[in-house]
Structure formats: structure tokens, C-alpha cells
Amino acid sequence: MNTILFIIQKEFIQVFRNRMMLPIIFVVPFVQLLILVHAATFEMKNIKVSVIDLDMSSSSRKMISKFQGSPFFIIKNTSFSDKEAQQEMKKGNVDMILHIPYGFERKLVKENSAKVQVVINAINGASAGLISAYSMMIILDFNRELLVDFLSPATLASTQNINVTTSYWYNPKLNYKTYMVPGILCLLVTIIAFLLSGMNIVREKEIGTIEQINVTPIRKVQFIAGKLLPFWIIALFELAFGLIIGKLLFSIPIIGSLWLIFLSAAVYIFVILGFGLLISTMTNTQQQSMLVSFFFMVIFILMSGLFTSIESMPVWAQNLDRINPIAYFIRIMRMVMLKGSNFYDIQESFYSLVVYALAIISFAVWRYRKVT
């Protein structure tokens, strides 16, 4: 037991003697939260529209003014030429073209239906979907007002619509920050724990100090425990620091129990440290370890449900996500922080992490060899 303490003590001396370490621990969470939360947003504002109004009627003007009145759209230019509008889109000056054909109003009055064309720049598929949804809403709204204008009150009453009102639970204002912060805290802890542990043992291999350690009576369990615990402590500290920043600067809601957050984090960090350890037993240089860690980390992050929802992934990917520790932890963090879930609600994810931690650490310890 004392041996472990001495190794931990040695690791802490080394960690804090590393000049990059303190900035990494304190600045990274701050910058990440600041940038990701403010910059990485799904909300679309200021969609630039080019309008081609060939009808020049009161109805077409009404529709255009509806777009103008919406906070999402800005009418960037108007023209009568398809070509000109398409040129603008090619140059990247507009995101969408609204094309109102000649005879729009006449058709509306005479045939009770008319067509408009919406052309959307879909280089970014996600935003194209949003633009389409927003413009549909405006056109529908326009449609409803037309009905009021044209139909007699009697017929209007008979075509009583079903009015759907939506309320968003657990994030009533659909605040993007509220949704992102728990996930970004997960990433923060993950990156710190994964990279530090993955690099650490490999570093001893690379500079040769492991030779000297291996001929001492240190048992490998002691050595590994002494290696993992310092980074476990640092990662937990990092989470606490991130939560404080999130609370003070972004006033993120923490509805559930802090104890539950830290209990889950404590288990989760062991999974990540185990992963890093496993990689460091299989590689010989810090560069190799870095590359392998990145490979896993990028896949785990992309599939974690942080940016895209897991439920919309294909079934095979959802099954694959069962081995993605980040996905479990993000789920727990969101449930506890936003929804106030208790232990009973998260127990499935929690126990999965416990099993995961035990499995991966035993495997890593078994893989670590003092003798060749």
C-alpha cells in the first residue's frame, strides 16, 4: 500500500513539474466551454435569401414580407433572373432562392392552388433541413391567412383545424447551451483522462525508466494503481472545475444530484483510464499511443450522441455504441443534469460502466508485462 502512495507522490511531482500541465488543466475546460457552447450551435439565424418575384402581385409581396418579418431570414437581393440568383448561390452569398412564378396570384384565386419554388444550398445537410423546415412553416402560415381572406367565415368554421402546440420538456426554451454543456464536460474529462493515461506508461517505456522499475520488487498491480490514481484524481477535479465554470458563467441547470454525477464520473474515468492503459501496453512510443488514442477517441466522440442523436443512427451503429463508454456517460450526465434523474433511472448505464471498468482494467493489467 505504501508503495502505491510513493508512486502516486512521484507522479504528482512529475505532473506539476511539467510546465504545460497546469495551463492544460485550467485553461482547456474554460476555452472548450466558451467556444463550443457559443460557437457550435445548431440554431439557424440570418439565412440569406435571394427572391425572384415574377408575379409582382399583392399576394407575392405578402409572402415575401412574411419571410422578411421572420427572424431567421434576410432578403439579400431580389432579381428577375434565375441565372443571377443561381450565380449568387454559387458564390456563397445566399443560402436559399425563393422563386415565385408569373401568374401566382391568378392561379391562387382561380384554381385555389399555386406553386412556389424553394432552392436550398444543401452543402451542409443539417442546415438545409432546418432552412427547409423554417420556410415550410412560413409558407403554411401564409396559406392559413389566405384561407381566412378567401373563404367565408361559415366554411372556415367547418374546416376547423387541429391546433398543435408543442412544449419542450427538460429544456423548455430549447436552449442549445443547456443541451451541449453536459456533453462537453464529458468530453473534457475524457480527453484529459485518455491522453494522460495513454501517454504515461509509454513515456516510461520511451525514456527507458521502465527498465529500472521492472527490476524492482514493485508488483504490477501496485505500479498500475500508482499510475492510474493520480489521473483519476486530476480528471475528477477537472469535472468539478468544469461544472463550476458551467454553473457560474453559463448558468447551466444542474437539477439532479451532484453526488450521482461524481459517482458515475468516478466509474467512467476508470473505464477511460483503462482504455489508455491498454493502449500504452500495446504501443512502444508516445507517438504511436497518441495516434491509436485519437483513432478510438474520434470514433467514440462521433458516435457518442453529443452532436447527433444515437436513436437516429442505423441499428448496427446503435449496437456498436454499446461498447462506446462516452455514449453511456453522456446519457447519464444529460439525464442527471437536465432531467434530475435518480440512481434508479440511470442504473442500466451505470452498471454497464461498472462492468466495463472492471473488464478493461483487468485486461490491461493482464496485458502489461514486466518480462519479455
C-alpha cell at 207: 525514456
Question: How many residues form the binding site for another protein (CB under 8 A)?
Answer: 24
- Give the x/- contact pattern for another protein in 18-37, rule: CB under 8 A: x-------------------
Closer CB to another protein, residue 23 or residue 217? 217
- Shortest reach from residue 216's CB to another protein, in Å: 5
Inter-residue contact 134 to 44 (CB < 8 Å): yes
Binding status of residue 286 toward another protein by CB under 8 A: no
Which residues touch 97 (CB under 8 Å, ≥6 apart)? 49, 50, 51, 52, 85, 86, 89, 117, 118, 119
Pick the piece of the chain touching another protein (CB under 8 A) from 3-11, 31-39, 66-74, 249-257: 3-11
Binding status of residue 10 toward another protein by CB under 8 A: yes
Binding status of residue 17 toward another protein by CB under 8 A: yes
Angle at 19 between CA 14 and CA 20, to 5 degrees: 105
Pick the piece of the chain touching another protein (CB under 8 A) from 42-50, 204-212, 252-260, 285-293: 204-212
- Give the x/- contact pattern for another protein in 216-255, rule: CB under 8 A: xxx-------------------------------------
Angle at 218 between CA 216 and CA 219, to 5 degrees: 130
- From candidates 1, 2, 39, 314, binder to another protein by CB under 8 A: 2
- The residue behind cell 492503459 is 277
- Shortest reach from residue 20's CB to another protein, in Å: 12
Binding status of residue 370 toward another protein by CB under 8 A: yes
Which residues touch 77 (CB under 8 Å, ≥6 apart)? 50, 51, 85, 88, 93, 94
Separation between Cα atoms, residue 218 and residue 10, nearest integer Å: 14
Binding status of residue 212 toward another protein by CB under 8 A: yes
Closer CB to another protein, residue 56 or residue 207? 207
- From candidates 207, 249, 255, 302, binder to another protein by CB under 8 A: 207
DSSP 335: I
Inter-residue contact 159 to 153 (CB < 8 Å): no
Separation between Cα atoms, residue 43 and residue 334, nearest integer Å: 20
- Interface residue list for another protein (CB under 8 A): 2-3, 6-7, 10, 13-14, 17-18, 207-218, 370-372
